[in-house]
Amino acid sequence: MKFTVLSQLSDCSPETKFFLLRFCMSNAYTLPDILKVDDIAKTLIMNRSLTGKALQELTQTGYLSVSPIAQTGKGRPKNLYDVTAKMSAMLETGDSKSTLHQDLIDDLIAPDKSSDSGERRHPLKTPTRLLLATLLALSDEKGVARDARTSELCANTGMGPDRIRNHVAKLCKLGYIRRVIPGVSSSKLFGTVGSAYILNLRHDSYREFAYSGSLWLISLVDEQNRQLPFEAYRLIKLARSAGNDSLQSLGRTQRGLEDLRVNLDPRTFHSIAPRLVETQPYRLAQRLQFELEIAASAILSLMGNELSSDSIAIDDQIQEEYLGTTVTPKKLFEEQSASRSSLLSVLYHLAWHMAKDRYGIIGISENPKRNYFLHHPSGTPNPMTGLPGSRHFAVESLEKANKRSNVVQIVFNPFEPNSALRKELREDSLENTARRRFGLGEKPGP
């Protein structure tokens, strides 16, 4: 079995794992059995010191065996390396999961320099590349790793938690990671879920393998703020205000559900409201908004034509995969299937209307099969709720390009003049402001 980025090496450094990945993707298998370190380093286009340390570490940890070869004359010693039973067992039990972004992973593992250019492929050191490659292997077609727990990243990279956090910060600064959504633990709604990472599949450093697509930036007028784009925040606020079964309380809840466009009996909502009330409402709201955006993105991508209908089409697979797995996991609702079903219905209704609203704004009916992704930036706290707010959101399409395309179309909502956007964002370049705000990077040069 091929050694992959998700294969785990015990007691080995990230540099050693990166060495093995480079070895497996090169033609190093054609080398003779009897080698000098220089031979391997030259073939892999790797630093000789790093190569020597990797071979030494693999030998010390029992993945390789080494036998010195007697030779006459001067020169560096030669060795015979062989795979041990430990290495064979690791390869047999390794993760064979196919990745949707193998081209981008290979681009990270490939040598910095080629025979015709001395330009660095990525401004990243070996451990940072390995972490990014791991996140790519864990991410979906939109570049989102929804439940990447630190313990899992540590096991896959050979780094500790602090080192993982440092490299994540570096990848965010350089634009490889657009956004990190913190995980939650001991939540009444989620249980425990790891952090989510939204990766930039269109980063310029990926060269010919970078994705292409379009971006629609929408800025809301005041009357539209009532509906968009803070569905999770408004849902949690409604749950916190849900009281007893008095007519007044039920009436307030009914109006709130109608505002959210959710068809549910107020008494049923009161029974599930405690699941949405926690001591850290901001973290819960932030994570729930992200999950709703992911579900709405799937609906927008897979069910575009059906969004033109006035009735809601329930897709059980989307509902379970995007809302039932991470949000409302079954293990938290043992013998409470009715409550789980009601919560899923509320969340799916919200995601459906989010997708429908975006569908109406960007008008995708001519080509509904593209891969769409909703973006919602953080903003300043809302003085009424204390939760972050912004009058802007975006819809992005992602496409795998046959050749490198650094052209990203920016389309603004026609209902508000661009000048108003420019005044609010207070930046000299509206397009670059939009890119920065939604983690899309600066506009590529000509």
Average pLDDT over residues 332-346: 92
Average pLDDT over residues 248-276: 91
pLDDT on residue 31? 52
HEC assignment per residue over 399-437: ECCCCCCCCEEEEECCCCCHHHHHHHHCCCCHHHHHHHH
The answer to whether 193 touches 324, Cβ cutoff 8 Å, is no
Average pLDDT over residues 323-350: 92
pLDDT on residue 309? 85
Q: Residue 51's closest CA among 59, 41, 42?
A: 41
Q: Please, what are the domains in the chain?
A: 1-97 (1.10.10.10), 99-210 (1.10.10.10), 211-437 (no CATH)
pLDDT on residue 319? 94
Name the residue with higher pLDDT: 376 or 150: 150
Flag whether pLDDT at 436 surpasses 60.
yes
Name the residue with higher pLDDT: 2 or 40: 40
Q: Give tens-digit pLDDT for 357-386.
A: 888 877 764 555 578 998 876 666 655 555
DSSP letter, residue 396: E
List Cβ neighbours of 415 (8 Å cut-off, separation of 6 or more).
221
Flag whether pLDDT at 17 surpasses 60.
yes
Going by pLDDT thresholds of 50, 70 and 90, the confidence category of residue 342 is: very high
pLDDT on residue 196? 94
pLDDT on residue 132? 97
Mean pLDDT score of the chain, rounded to an integer?
80
pLDDT on residue 68? 77
pLDDT on residue 62? 86
pLDDT on residue 322? 93
Average pLDDT over residues 311-316: 90
Residue 45 burial class via C-beta count within 10 angstroms: exposed 0-12, middle 13-18, buried 19 and up: middle
Determine the Cα–Cα distance for residues 155 and 144; give it in Å rounded to an integer. 20
- Phi, psi at residue 375, to the nearest 5°? -120, 140
pLDDT on residue 380? 61
Of 34-38, 132-136, 245-249, 360-364, give the range with the top mean pLDDT.
Answer: 132-136
pLDDT on residue 37? 74
Residue 21 burial class via C-beta count within 10 angstroms: exposed 0-12, middle 13-18, buried 19 and up: buried
Q: Provide the pairing of β-strand 212-219 with 408-412.
A: parallel
